[in-house]
Homo-oligomer: A and B are copies of this chain.
Amino acid sequence: MPTWMPPDEWAALKRGDGCVLCEDAHQDVNVFGSKIADLTWSWFRLANNQYLPGWTVVTLKRHATELFQLAPDELAGYWADVARAARALDRVFQPAKINYLVMGNICPHIHCHLVPRFYSDDPTWPVNMNQEQGILPPDQYAARLDALRQALTDA
In the complex the two chains form, is A66's CB within 8 Å of B123's CB? no
Q: Which residues of B contact A126 (CB under 8 A)?
A: 126-128
Q: In the bound complex, how far is the Cα of B100 from the Cα of A123, in angstroms?
A: 18
Interface residues of A in 110-155 (CB under 8 A from B): 117, 119, 121-124, 126-128
Q: In the bound complex, how far is the Cα of B19 from the Cα of A155, in angstroms?
A: 30
- Copies of this chain present in the complex amount to 2
User: Among the listed B7, B68, B100, B119, which residue makes an inter-chain contact with A83, where contact means beta carbons less than 8 Å apart?
Assistant: B68
In the complex the two chains form, is B75's CB within 8 Å of A83's CB? yes
In the complex the two chains form, is B66's CB within 8 Å of A90's CB? yes
Report how many residues on chain A are interfacial, defined by Cβ distance under 8 Å.
43
Q: In the bound complex, how far is the Cα of B102 from the Cα of A127, in angstroms?
A: 11
Q: Mark A69-113, 1 if CB is under 8 A from B, else 0.
A: 010100110011011101100100000111111111110100000
Report the minimal beta-carbon distance from A65 to chain B, rounded to whole angstroms: 7
In the complex the two chains form, is B106's CB within 8 Å of A124's CB? yes
A51 close to chain B: CB less than 8 A: no
Q: In the bound complex, how far is the Cα of B100 from the Cα of A82, in angstroms?
A: 14
Answer whether A105 and B99 are a contact pair too, CB < 8 Å, given A1-B122, A3-B122, A87-B68: yes
Binding site for B on A (CB under 8 A): 1-4, 7, 10, 65-68, 70, 72, 75-76, 79-80, 82-84, 86-87, 90, 96-106, 108, 117, 119, 121-124, 126-128
